[in-house]
Structure 1
Amino acid sequence: MLSAEALRAHLLAARLAGAVATARETSLRSYRLFAAGDPRVRLGLDPEQSWAESDLLRLMADRCGVSGDPEHVSGPDVIDPDRTLAALDAFAGRLAAAAAARAPVLLGTGHPHRLLGFYASLASALSAAGCPVLTPAQGRCIDITTRFGLRTYNLHYVRGVAMVREPGVRGSGSETGVHSHSPLPVRTALAAAADARTPLPSLVVGDHGWVCGAGQLGIEAVGLADTDDPALFVGEAEGRVSVAVPLDDAVRSDYYRPLTRYVLNRACLSQ
């Protein structure tokens, strides 16, 4: 079993926490855009209160451990590994509760190149525990506005984990997934399940728009978030996201394997 101390050391060595690759300038820009109401960084969340840039900086300092000094405007951003560990424990607790109830779950990612393996291992463990792992709207077309204009993608499930792909792409590898922040995929999946009168998830597990989009619709959601993803932490502060785990969400995929072992052990879901 991987101890908390060993995982803490790994978080720092792999730069999942500590000084991370996300630039301070990138994080601050996200806070400015969120405060201005930019949907690209709100990720489907409609905040209940007004969040000024200064409010967001204080929140992110509290939830992630970034510097709360507004004069600190450059260099790498920082995540407190102890906050990551505490959030991973809470994350594991929500998985354990879902498994105990054999609740239907939906998993989706906007970071398939990095995080597919992490979520796929959770999907396998939850399925083995008796949770229906849902796959609604397989192959459905979704129009998403990107910085390159409107793009049409298809919703696909790989090893129980949803992602969006370019039309016509075949195969089962994570390399065919598209990086996306949009809440439209989770909205499409939930609408398809409701239309078909099949079960809706009791828990959504993922990142970006998967978590915020589900939480906004009143479905329990937990996920991973970097220092430039304030929406998940706002959702957590306002009670629409159950757990937001602060960590770098774009390191090498194999660096997340110790997190997988730790979370599954904590949730008593190790296979």
Structure 2
Amino acid sequence: MLSTGALRAHLVRAGLAGVVGTSREDSLRSYRLFAARDPRVLIGIDPERDWRQRDLIELMARRCGVSADPAHTFGHDVIDPELTLAALDAFADRLGAAARRGEPVLLGTGHPHRLLGFYVALADALSAAGCAVLTPAQGRCVDITTRFGLRTHNLEYVRGVALVRPPGGERTGCEPGAHTHSPLPVRLALAAAADAGGPLPGLVIGDHGWVCGAGQLGFEAMGPADTNDPALFVGQAEGRVSVVVPLDDAVRPAYYRPLARYVLNRACLSQ
């Protein structure tokens, strides 16, 4: 099993924690837009309270380790690797509980270029442990607002992990798919599962809108989030998201493999 010390060193060396690639300017912009309830940054969460930018900075300082100083407005953001490790342990513990209970699970990503392999490893292990890895709404269309306007995408699954692709952009079954923060894909998947009479997931694992959209609908959800994604941390603070792992979500795909090995070992799901 990868030791905690070795994983901590990997997190910092790979830029997953410590000084990360996400800029302070980008994070502060996200906090400002979230405070204004911009749906592009809410990504499926409907906050119960009014979150000012200062409130969000304080929350992200506690949950991620970013600077709590509002006057710090430029440079690279920082994630405390100790917070990442603690969240990975909680993530692994919940994963292990899902396996022991044989819970149906739904996995999806808006970051397929980076995180697909991480989720595939989890899906394979959960399936081997007897969990039903759900694939509702396979091939269905969903309209997503992008910077180019409203665009139609197809919901597809790669080895049990949901993602979206623009029609004709990539051959079905190939990877990866499109980058999106939208909660619409998970809403489509959950509605399709309900319309089919179930089963419904006991746990949703993913990022961006997959976590926030599921959590807002009352499904237990968990996953990683970067310093410029305050919605997941607000969802956790308000009790609609179970576990959020603070880390840079845009490093090389191979850098997430040790994280997958670590959580699967801790969850007693190593194959």
1:173 Cα deviation after fit: 3.2
- Say yes or no: does 1:173 pair with 2:174: yes
2:269 is aligned to 269
Q: Distance in 2 between matches of 1:258 and 1:210?
A: 23
Give, in angstroms, the shift of residue 174 of structure 1.
2.4
Q: Deviations 1:153-206 (Å, cap 9, x if unpaired)?
A: 00000010000001123143323x000000000000000011111201000000
Does residue 47 (structure 1) correspond to residue 47 (structure 2)? The answer is yes
Listed one character per residue, the Cα deviations across residues 67-96 of structure 1 (whole Å, up to 9, x for unaligned) are 000000000000000000000000001101
1:27 aligns to what?
27
> Is contact 2:137-2:155 (8 Å) kept?
yes
For 1:253, give the aligned amino acid.
P
Identity in percent:
76
DSSP-derived class of the 1:172 partner: coil
TM-score normalised per structure 2: 0.99
**CA deviation map 1:13-37 (0-9, x unaligned):** 0000000000000000000000000
Q: Does 1:57 align with 2:47?
A: no
| Counterpart position of 1:102 | 102
Matches within 5 A, 1:159-198: 159-168=159-168, 169-175=170-176, 177-198=177-198
2:117 corresponds to: 117
Question: Separation in 1 of the partners of 2:148 and 2:136?
Answer: 28
Deviation per CA, 1:39-98: give whole Å up to 9, x if none.
001110001111010000000000000000000000000000000000000000110110
Q: Distance in 2 between matches of 1:131 and 1:47?
A: 32
| 1:140-159 alignment runs, 5 A limit | 140-159=140-159
Number of residue pairs matched by the alignment? 270
How far apart are residue 124 of structure 1 and its match? 0.3
- Aligned match of 2:256: 256
Task: Give secondary structure in 2 for the equivalent of 1:151.
Answer: strand
After TM superposition, list the pairs within 5 Å mapping 1:125-136 onto structure 2: 125-136=125-136
| TM-score normalised over the length of structure 1 | 0.99
Distance between the aligned counterparts of 2:195 and 2:3, measured in 1? Answer: 44
Runs of 4+ in 1 over 6 A off after TM superposition: none
Q: CA deviation at 1:147?
A: 1.2
Q: Read off the aligned partner of 1:211 and give its amino acid letter.
A: V
Q: Is the 8 A contact 2:104 2:133 kept in 1?
A: yes
The answer on whether the counterparts of 2:211 and 2:241 sit within 8 Å (CA) in structure 1 is: yes
Residue in 2 aligned with 1:72?
A: 72
Q: Distance in 2 between matches of 1:145 and 1:43?
A: 12
Q: Is residue 110–residue 181 contact of structure 2 (8 Å, CA) maintained in 1?
A: yes
Write the distance in 2 (CA, Å) between the matches of 1:127 and 1:260: 15
Q: SS at the partner of 1:74?
A: coil
C-alpha root-mean-square deviation of aligned residues, in Å?
0.6
Gaps of 5+ in 2: none
CA distance in 2, matches of 1:38, 1:249: 21
Take 2:252 and 2:261, find their aligned partners in 1: how far apart are those partners? 16
- The 2-side partners of 1:44 and 1:261 are apart by 30
SS of match in other structure, 2:193: helix
The Cα shift of 1:233 comes to 0.3
Unaligned ranges ≥5, structure 1: none
| 1:223 counterpart SS class | strand
